[in-house]
Amino acid sequence: METKNTIPVTVLTGFLGSGKTTLLNRILSENHGKKIAVIENEFGEVGVDNELVIGADEEIFEMNNGCICCTVRGDLIRILDQLMKRKDKLDYIIVETTGMANPAPVAQTFWVDDEMRERFSLDAIITVVDTKHVWHHINNSSECQEQIAFADVILLNKIDLVSEQELIKLEQKIKSMNSQAKIYKTKDANIDLNNILNVKAFDLDAKVELNPNFLVEEVPFEWCGIFDFNNEEYQLKMDEGPDPTIDVVFVKLNANTDSDIEKAKKETVKIFSEEYKEVKAENFLNSNRTHNRLLIEDKKQVFYFKPSKKGFYAVFTQHGPDEFNMTFESSKIKGNDADLLIGAKKHQSVHSFDNLKLANLNLATPIKEIEYAHSHEHDNAVTSVGIEDESTLSIQKVNDWISWLLQNKGTDIYRMKGILNISGNDERFVFQGVHMLFDAKADRAWRADEKRRNQLVFIGKNLDREELTKGFKKCIVKNQIKFV
Amino acid sequence: MKNFFNNSEDHDNKEISKKVKQWVKLYFGLPEVGCVVLVSELQCADEGCPDVETVISILAQPEVKVYKIGKPLIYVRVRDIETLSKQYLITQASTESK
């Protein structure tokens, strides 16, 4: 997006009571010497002398019948057109949306027309979150999810009203939905304005870098257990769960240390995006670095595995063990133990294995359990999907793939962003999109000291990690698949 | 299919976009003030739609009118706008006569 001589525009979203108006007043009352126009849909208590506050009636129109990807804000276009005719030049525009607004039509307004792009540059979407009350909406309000998913910057506001543990849980949840947004924790929306204004989040001419932890923060698994397995046969038992399958990956650890577990976690994120191996009940799964997809067709399903070496293993599962009544045990004890296990499970809360130890069975209980934010949900959840890979891509194939994605998945992909390593080019290619609107260009040259790699992030609902990964892999030149 | 990674078309598109706006204002008889025209290029996934089409939105008061031309912006010519405007003017006339 062009930025030369354009007026930057910040879109401010957040539910009613989240602290949007407090933030807005903070921006306006700061001694920055800039002429700021505020376009707001709901009149709050904004009103600072010498600032221009314009009320707007949300007028959304569709350029393509029924498609959210092609909706823009007519009222905004009219107001911006009027603002351009003023004699005094504006330095900045802030658009405050209603609490229940989907940010997409506002963002798209600045992309759909060349003249709009020449005059204005969408700087960033800022979402203010009420940390105390957001849990009432985050799982069931599409507007709340969209506001988080579209954001470049998220202010976790009112942190004085929640415990540190609640804050960590919320941060994890938000990162699983949007791995790219910068998150700041604030009280009374008190934030350094440099963090929210002139962010240049949509500017492909600015330094395009993805959050280096983007793969780790949107993990596709919910649970990890650290086990000390022997070189013998084990059984993984489970009942039917919310899905007909569950993905499981075992990684042998060198040691039971936090750094080793972290390394295994990163590796597993990549293994989860590789081809899976379907495993039916009563069969053996692979107990080291393989993407196993277990088919759960009935109750009391048993899968076998035999670690090749004794030692510590990290077992990552797509869902929490409680959802499938999952247990690990040595095959040494046979007979009616399965029934005893189920009985023992019934008397305990969720998936703590502690009580099972009391059952005095030959259970393999985890030494340590780690829960991850529920990035994988069972319905139309908003998630991030990241791809990182060092292969070289065909520009034509990438173009075909992106074109297909925009046409067929544009409604579900809220935002996408990436850096590409294109065959025959010494320059990075950068891109980003909002729904079906897409912008790409050749960026700076790859530095001699940096690894050429592709990094892509998709944020949206119903995102299919496998499908996206498969589509990406089809763009690789010479069929070389080399995951980092 | 649109070439997303070739920006050389962008400049041409900007020029033709400006021209299309001028043609629309002229042929549709739109006022200079109080009426905004947007010109966009969209990829439509609907069956029967071309891969890339040009969408012209006229933000008149009190309503917005949206017109589509089934080809990329760079191929839009003055006669396309003239054809659209004839439809528009006929509709306007029949509305006014009612």
In tens, the pLDDT along A152-205 reads 999 999 999 999 999 998 998 898 889 889 999 999 999 999 999 999 998 877
Stretch A227-235: mean pLDDT: 93
Q: Do B45 and A395 touch (CB under 8 A)?
A: no
Q: Do B38 and A116 touch (CB under 8 A)?
A: yes
Q: Do A114 and B5 touch (CB under 8 A)?
A: no
Structure tokens, B44: 């439509």
Q: Do B4 and A400 touch (CB under 8 A)?
A: no
Instruction: Name which of A64, A114, A429 is nearest B13 (Cβ-Cβ).
Output: A114
Phi/psi of residue A258, nearest 5 degrees: -60, -40
Q: CB of B52 within 8 Å of any CB in chain A?
A: no
Q: Write the secondary structure of chain A as one string of H (helix), E (strand) and C (coil).
A: CCCCCCEEEEEEEECCCCCHHHHHHHHHHCCCCCCEEEEECCCCCCCCCCCEEEECCCCEEECCCCCHHHEEEHHHHHHHHHHHCCCCCCCEEEEECCCCCCCHHHHHHCCCCHHHHHHEEEEEEEEEEECCCHHHCCCCCHHHHHHHHHCCEEEEECHHHCCHHHHHHHHHHHHHHCCCCEEEECCCCCCCHHHCCCCCCCCCCCCCCCCCCHHHHCCCCCEEEEEEECCCCEEEEECCCCCCEEEEEEEECCCCCHHHHHHHHHHHHHHHCCCCEEECCCCECCCCCCCEEEECCCCCEEEEECCCCCEEEEEEECCCHHHHCCEEEECCCCCCHHHHHHHHHHCCCCCCCHHHHHCCCCECCCCEEEECCCCCCCCCCEEEEEEEECCCECHHHHHHHHHHHHHHHCCCEEEEEEEECECCCCEEEEEEEECCEEEEEEEEECCCCCCCCEEEEEEEECCCHHHHHHHHHCCEHHHCCCCC
Instruction: Name which of B1, B45, B57 is nearest A63 (Cβ-Cβ).
Output: B57
A81: which chain B residues are within 8 Å (Cβ-Cβ)? 36
Res A217: pLDDT: 61
Percent of the residues in chain A that have a pLDDT greater than 90, as a whole number: 48
Q: Do A74 and B64 touch (CB under 8 A)?
A: yes
Q: Min CA distance, A406 vs chain B (Å)?
A: 8
pLDDT tier at B90, thresholds 50, 70, 90: confident
Query: Which chain A residue has its CA at the smallest distance from B11's CA?
Result: A114
Q: Min CA distance, B97 vs chain A (Å)?
A: 27
Instruction: Name which of A112, A407, A442 is nearest B40 (Cβ-Cβ).
Output: A112
Instruction: Name which of A70, A74, A399 is nearest B4 (Cβ-Cβ).
Output: A399
Res A475: pLDDT: 95
Q: Which domains does chain B have, with CATH numbers?
A: 8-97 (3.30.160)
Instruction: Name which of A78, A118, A407 is nearest B43 (Cβ-Cβ).
Output: A407
Query: Which chain A residue has its CA at the smallest distance from B66's CA?
Result: A63
Interface of A with B (CB under 8 A): 59, 61-64, 67, 70, 72, 74, 77-78, 81, 112-116, 118, 395, 398-400, 402-403, 406-408, 410, 422, 429, 431, 436, 438, 440-442
Min mean pLDDT across A123-132, A224-233, A267-276, A296-305 is at A267-276
Listed by start position, the domains of chain A span: 7-203, 223-371, 382-479
Position A214 pLDDT exceeds 90: no
- Best of B7, B35, B42 to mutate (most A CBs within 10 Å, chain A): B42
Q: Do B66 and A62 touch (CB under 8 A)?
A: yes
pLDDT digits (tens, 9 = 90+) for A336-377: 555 545 444 444 433 444 444 444 457 889 999 988 865 444
Query: Which chain B residue has its CA at the smallest distance from A63's CA?
Result: B66
pLDDT digits (tens, 9 = 90+) for A116-158: 888 999 999 999 999 999 998 898 889 999 999 999 999 999 9
B56: which chain A residues are within 8 Å (Cβ-Cβ)? none
Whether A250 contacts A286, CB under 8 Å: yes
Res A337: pLDDT: 52
Instruction: Name which of B1, B14, B42 is nearest A64 (Cβ-Cβ).
Output: B42
pLDDT tier at A236, thresholds 50, 70, 90: very high
Q: CB of B26 within 8 Å of any CB in chain A?
A: no
A105: which chain B residues are within 8 Å (Cβ-Cβ)? none
Position A420 pLDDT exceeds 70: yes
Q: Min CA distance, A114 vs chain B (Å)?
A: 6
Query: Which chain A residue has its CA at the smallest distance from B10's CA?
Result: A114
Res B61: pLDDT: 76
Res A465: pLDDT: 84
Mean pLDDT of chain A: 84
Fold for domain A382-479? Hypothetical Protein Yjia; Chain: A;domain 2 (3.30.1220)
State how beta strands A120-130 and A153-157 pair: parallel
Q: Do B4 and A402 touch (CB under 8 A)?
A: yes
Q: Do A78 and B39 touch (CB under 8 A)?
A: no
Stretch A398-406: mean pLDDT: 92
Query: Which chain B residue has its CA at the smallest distance from A82's CA?
Result: B34
Q: CB of B74 within 8 Å of any CB in chain A?
A: no
Domain A7-203 has CATH 3.90.1150.10: no
pLDDT digits (tens, 9 = 90+) for A82-109: 888 887 788 999 999 988 889 999 999 9
Position A419 pLDDT exceeds 90: yes
Q: CB of B95 within 8 Å of any CB in chain A?
A: no
Min mean pLDDT across A259-263, A291-295, A356-360, B94-98 is at A356-360
